[in-house]
Chains A and B, each alone.
Chain A
Amino acid sequence: MTAKAERLVNLTVALMDASRPLRFGHIRERVPGYAQGDAESARRMFERDKEDLRSIGVPVDTVALDASEADWGYRIDPRRYALPAVDLSGAEIAALSLAIAATGEESVRVGVAKLAARAPDAPEVTTPSTHVALGTPTGVAAVADPLVEHRAVTFRYRDGLGVETDRTVDPYGVALSHGAWYLVGFDHDRDDLRVFRIDRVVGDIVAVGAAGQFDRPDGFDIATEVDRPLRGEVDALLAVAPDATWRALRRGGVVRSTRDDGWSIVELSRAHADRVVALALSLGPDAELLEPIELRDDVVRRLKDLIRPTRRRR
């Protein structure tokens, strides 16, 4: 392990230090670790090392040294290697460390250390009393490059009804909402903006086409798009039993008055119709949806459907 890490660091320095692209033969002479064994296995080792360096963000360029493209050289451009100047204060570095402590995201520790390397020393971070778990969505890493490079992606998607289709999407952004990860973008097959749950992607997300293919529309706001199913225009009134009133309050309701029988009249304002019906149904016999009348009818119809003798499907 150590031998390999040492070889990769020396390879990085050699490719950055060279004034011209280096042929593999030259690299083999100059960097310890490639001289042993036969040329072919050394070559394969070099190919793997090159990919390992790229995987951690080191820009190893492959350059054709003649027109026939039979002769290749390799180099690292120091300007593309180096982190651009980011002028963070010690307090800002401490804030990023606090974010690691609050999320437990040890995977970003080296990234934050890159930002901290040339910044003033950060004040010590105390353990925050609020924690948030991000989960490990593999699909999010796969859309990172296309998102930054403005490239389209394709993937196979299983929608909420279980139907699978192939999609081609311009990725506009990602969101973590209510515990699930979402990709929002322009869906070429639907010719419209769509929100995709990343855990419903079947297989890999693959970048297609060239960089810089699309622009995000003005006024696009990802929080609005992802939250759309939860927001609405409905103002609803429910009568709720005294013991269950708190449940309606935790779901955003406000008590407007109390009925003679002790039940609370709870108002939900600017709510989505589905949320209103779901709340009334989940409270069961502890609630009565009073307004709007169409949603009240909807609740009655759904309850009747549940009581009807079950017909065996099959």
Chain B
Amino acid sequence: MTAADDVARVLTLVPWLLERPGVSVDEAAAAFGVDRATIAADVDLIGYCGRPPLGGGDLFEASIVGDRIVVTMADELRHPVRLAPAEALRIVLAGEAAAAALGDDVPDLRSALTQLRRAAGVPEHVAVLFDEDGEALIGPLRDAIADDRQVRLEYQGRVDASPQARVVDPWALHVTDGSWYLQGWDHGAAGGRNFRLDRIADLERLDDARAHPARPIAPPRYEAGVDDITVELRLGPADRWLADDVAVDERVDEPGGGLRIRFRTDALGWVAALLLEAGPGVEVITPKSLAVARRDRATAALARYEPIA
């Protein structure tokens, strides 16, 4: 944390404390998202500040007595600093994202954001949009979480040939990179797992209560494993979007607007399906088996349209 961060917090802490005489150190720490020691240091610092020339009656009075904080004589700082545009915008964006993720049941958040926009001049034109894929599952999963019930998923893992049954204690929904995930305890794997909603083929609510209490787990992120296959592709200018859909290890721009990318995967079949969506402008450099898988899959798909006589 820089000195400027400390000053921003202290200039906000003073008016907050002036309105709350005798507030506890813990309450202040919670409101500012810092530890008790930071609040104690801030209160100490406030006691060294005041009006020039900082003589006898010029200093602010600040002390912690038996875990209660008292600040007086700091009338110059009774107002918080106005919100900088970037600061107000960030609050509005966090609020909009939370409102979109939590559903419509947040009228207090909506009204708070409306007032904030008006006070800070943040334009109305801020939007947060998520994938609609898997949207139909959000309501039933929210209910299962709220009612403390297990669910059974038919889940399509990246490496599985078809969806497999999983019994899960649902903990939370998570939006990462615009996509929805369910986080919960996977009874089969005996651990916390992330499940992409658009890979849930079927969802059934069970009567059993959750056996494992919710705990935070890392948001979904692809971790390369030791058995992963390295893939290298040369993308034409029209296929550059593909680089956004995989966790790229290396990307090199090529003359003419193309792109060469290298990434690792544990699911070559999944990459082959992705390559069908892209055009023939994608050249598979390595592995050769991927080029074969793409051609085989395209041939099988074409047979649906033009049955071989």
Chain A interface residues toward B at CB < 8 A: 1-2, 4-6, 8-10, 12-14, 16-17, 29-32, 52-53, 55-59, 78, 80-84, 86-89, 91-96, 98-100, 102-103, 105-118, 121, 128-135, 140-141, 144-145, 147-149, 160-163, 172-180, 184, 216, 220-223, 226-227, 243, 246-247, 249-252, 278, 281-282, 284-285, 287-288, 296, 299-300, 302-308, 310, 313
Cβ contact within 8 Å between B101 and A131? yes
Instruction: Return chain B residues, CB-CB under 8 Å to A313.
Output: 283
Is B37 an interface position by the 8 A CB rule? no
**CB within 8 Å of A: which B75-100 residues:** 76-77, 79-91, 93-95, 97-100
Shortest distance from the beta carbon of B264 to any chain A beta carbon, whole Å: 20
Cβ contact within 8 Å between B145 and A129? yes
User: If the complex has contacts A14-B52, A250-B197, are A278 and B277 also in contact, measured as CB distance less than 8 A?
Assistant: yes
A58 to B237, CA, bound (A): 46
Cβ contact within 8 Å between A108 and B94? yes
Cβ contact within 8 Å between A282 and B273? yes
Cβ contact within 8 Å between A303 and B302? yes
Cβ contact within 8 Å between A216 and B87? no
Instruction: Return chain A residues, CB-CB under 8 Å to B174.
Output: 130-133
Instruction: Return chain B residues, CB-CB under 8 Å to A308.
Output: 280
Q: Which of A8, A16, A55, A172 contacts B123 (CB 8 A)?
A: A172
A313 to B282, CA, bound (A): 11
Is B19 an interface position by the 8 A CB rule? yes
A305 to B299, CA, bound (A): 11
Interface contacts beyond A95-B95, A133-B176, A175-B127: sample of 5 additional A-B pairs, CB < 8 Å, sorted by A? A82-B80, A95-B106, A172-B123, A177-B129, A285-B303
Instruction: Return chain A residues, CB-CB under 8 Å to B277.
Output: 278, 281-282
Cβ contact within 8 Å between A98 and B7? no
Is B165 an interface position by the 8 A CB rule? no
Instruction: Return chain B residues, CB-CB under 8 Å to A83.
Output: 79-83, 119
User: If the complex has contacts A95-B106, A112-B91, are A173 and B125 also in contact, measured as CB distance less than 8 A?
Assistant: yes
Is B122 an interface position by the 8 A CB rule? yes
Cβ contact within 8 Å between A17 and B51? yes
User: If the complex has contacts A56-B81, A179-B178, A216-B125, are A117 and B94 also in contact, measured as CB distance less than 8 A?
Assistant: no
Q: Which of A128, A144, A227 contacts B89 (CB 8 A)?
A: A144
Shortest distance from the beta carbon of A162 to any chain B beta carbon, whole Å: 4
**CB within 8 Å of A: which B96-113 residues:** 97-103, 106, 108-109, 111-112
Shortest distance from the beta carbon of A82 to any chain B beta carbon, whole Å: 3
Instruction: Return chain A residues, CB-CB under 8 Å to B197.
Output: 250
Instruction: Return chain B residues, CB-CB under 8 Å to A100.
Output: 33, 94
Cβ contact within 8 Å between B51 and A133? no
**CB within 8 Å of A: which B153-167 residues:** 154, 156, 162-163
Instruction: Return chain A residues, CB-CB under 8 Å to B258.
Output: 162
Is B116 an interface position by the 8 A CB rule? yes
Instruction: Return chain A residues, CB-CB under 8 Å to B83.
Output: 57, 83, 111, 114-115
Instruction: Return chain B residues, CB-CB under 8 Å to A110.
Output: 8-9, 12, 32
Cβ contact within 8 Å between A111 and B127? no
Cβ contact within 8 Å between A58 and B128? no
Cβ contact within 8 Å between B134 and A250? yes
A111 to B197, CA, bound (A): 34
Q: Of B63-71, B224-232, B290-298, which stretch is located at the interface?
A: B290-298
Interface string of B195-219 (1 = CB under 8 A from A): 0011111100000000000100001
A145 to B253, CA, bound (A): 33
A280 to B190, CA, bound (A): 36
Cβ contact within 8 Å between A81 and B82? yes
A13 to B75, CA, bound (A): 10
User: If the complex has contacts A10-B49, A58-B11, are A84 and B32 also in contact, measured as CB distance less than 8 A?
Assistant: no
Cβ contact within 8 Å between A173 and B126? yes
